[in-house]
Amino acid sequence: MTVRGTTRMTAAVSLAFILAGVPPASAQLEPPEVPGLRGAPFAAVHPGPDVRSFGEGPEWDARPPPGIEPLAVDLFTSTDFYRDRDLWLDQRYWRCNSPRQVADMRSGGPGTGTLDPRIGAEPPVSARWGDCEMDWPRENIVSPYPFDSAAAHYQALLDDARTRGGPTQHTYETMPKWDGVYREYLPDGRRIWNYMRSNQTPTLLSLLTPQYRQRMVQQLYHEGVDAAHQWSASHCWPEGFMRQWATGPTPNRVLVTPGIVVLVGVSNSNVWRTVHIGREFPLGQEVPQWFGDTIGFWDDDALITWTSNVQGWTQHSSWEFSYELETIEIFTPVSDDDGALLGLDWEAVIYDSEALVEPVRILWHRIYVEGWDTAGRLGFRECTRRLYPIDGFATQVAPGQIIEYRVPDMFDRPWAEIWAEYFEQDMARPDDSLDLGFD
State the pLDDT confidence band at 432, using cuts at 50, 70 and 90. low
Q: pLDDT (tens digit, 9 = 90+) per residue, 177-211? A: 999 999 988 776 678 889 898 899 999 999 999 99
Is the overall model pTM greater than 0.85, yes or no?
yes
Quote the pLDDT of residue 176: 96
State the pLDDT confidence band at 31, using cuts at 50, 70 and 90. very low
In whole angstroms, what is the distance from residue 315 CA to residue 248 CA? 9
Q: pLDDT (tens digit, 9 = 90+) per residue, 303-323? A: 999 999 999 999 988 999 999
Which DSSP helix (H) or strand (E) runs through 250?
Answer: none
193 or 221: whose pLDDT is higher?
221
Task: Calculate the alpha carbon distances from 319 to 33, 347, 403 in Å.
Answer: 34, 20, 31
Q: pLDDT (tens digit, 9 = 90+) per residue, 389-423? A: 999 999 999 999 999 998 989 888 999 999 999 99
Which of 109-123, 231-245, 323-337 shows the lowest per-residue confidence on average (mean pLDDT)?
Answer: 109-123
Query: Would you tell me how many other CB atoms lie within 10 Å of the CB of residue 336?
Result: 16
Q: pLDDT (tens digit, 9 = 90+) per residue, 115-154? A: 677 888 888 999 999 889 889 889 889 999 999 999 999 9
Residue 313 burial (CB < 10 Å; 0-12/13-18/19+)? buried
pLDDT greater than 60 at residue 45: no
384 or 189: whose pLDDT is higher?
384
Q: What angle do CA 98, 243, 153 make, to 5 degrees?
A: 100
The average pLDDT across 9-37 equals 40
Q: What angle do CA 255, 316, 428 make, to 5 degrees?
A: 150
State the Cα torsion 299-185-189-12 to the nearest 10°.
-20
322: phi then psi, degrees, rounded to nearest 5: -105, 180
